[in-house]
Amino acid sequence: MIQRSKVLVAGAMMLGVMSLGGCATKKFVRQEVGVVNTRVDAQETKLSGVEKTAQDALARADAAGKLAEGKFNYSMVLSDDSMKFQPGKAALTPEASARLDAFADKLKSDNKNVYVEVQGHTSLNEGGSKQAAYDLGNKRAEIVRRYLNQKGVPLNRIGTISYGSDAPVAPNTDRAGREANRRVVLIVLS
């Protein structure tokens, strides 16, 4: 009987030790799961922000697409001798200003309800990198946009986009080709 009591006590102690070990493990698991849940919640918050940004971008793209579904009227390329940009520059020459004056007058006399897309282009890696080429194309488009606005074309009717060096009209292998690629294209939609 004493022996049986010793076995029962030993068994109860083993069971107690094992259950205490299990509790410690459960506590540890709960803590770790809590940390992981916190991280998951933070990532879900970030993803919902990214999803909102993506939805906003899609809405803007849809609006631009609807606007672009308008009737194409005409385009004007400003890259001839009167509108050449110097390498790495976004300044308008007096000849370019005169061309833009005529263009603004045509816009105002033809139809006041048109939309103008100003596309800025550069020669291959003008400025040193692909990003610098995009930035320069954007500066060229913006200077034309601001000039047209000064001549009476409303800003809400003018959009800009930079293609950098991604849409050349001539090979960038010689001087004439590079000059032709340093251009601004004006697309008129109604």
CB 169 within 8 A of CB 181: yes
The pLDDT, as a whole number, for residue 103 is 86
Query: For residue 68, what pLDDT is reported?
Result: 56
Cβ proximity of 183 and 65 under 8 Å: no
Q: What is the mean predicted confidence (pLDDT) over 90-102?
A: 86
Whole-Å CA distances, 132 to 31, 77, 147 = 49, 22, 23
Q: Is it the case that residue 23 has pLDDT exceeding 90? A: no
Q: What residue spans of 69-150 are helical by DSSP H?
A: 94-110, 130-150
Q: How does the average pLDDT of the chain come out, rounded? A: 76
d(CA 64, CA 131): 23
Task: Report the candidate in 121, 133, 189, 182 with the shortest Cα–Cα distance to residue 158.
Answer: 189
Confidence at 114, pLDDT banded by 50, 70, 90: confident
Compute the half-sphere exposure of residue 36: CA atoms within 13 Å on the CB side of its CA: 6
pLDDT of residue 145: 93
**How far apart (Å, rounded) are the C-alpha atoms in residues 30 and 47?**
25
Beta bridge partners of 119: 161, 185
Q: What are phi and psi of 5, to 5 degrees?
A: -65, -40
Which is more confident, 121 or 17? 121
**Tens digit of each residue's pLDDT (9 = 90 or more) over 125-158:** 776 788 888 899 899 999 999 999 999 888 888 9
pLDDT digits (tens, 9 = 90+) for 161-189: 998 888 888 888 888 888 888 888 888 88
CB 87 within 8 A of CB 181: no
pLDDT over 60 at 6, yes or no: no
Mean pLDDT for 37-45 is 74
C-beta contacts of 137-144 below 8 A and 24+ residues apart: 137/162, 137/163, 137/164, 137/165, 138/162, 139/90, 140/85, 140/90, 140/182, 140/184, 141/184, 142/90, 142/118, 143/90, 143/91, 143/92, 144/78, 144/92, 144/100, 144/118, 144/120, 144/184, 144/186
Res. 118: pLDDT tops 80: yes
> Residues 67-88: pLDDT tens digits?
555 565 566 665 555 566 778 8
Contact 82, 96 (CB under 8 A): yes
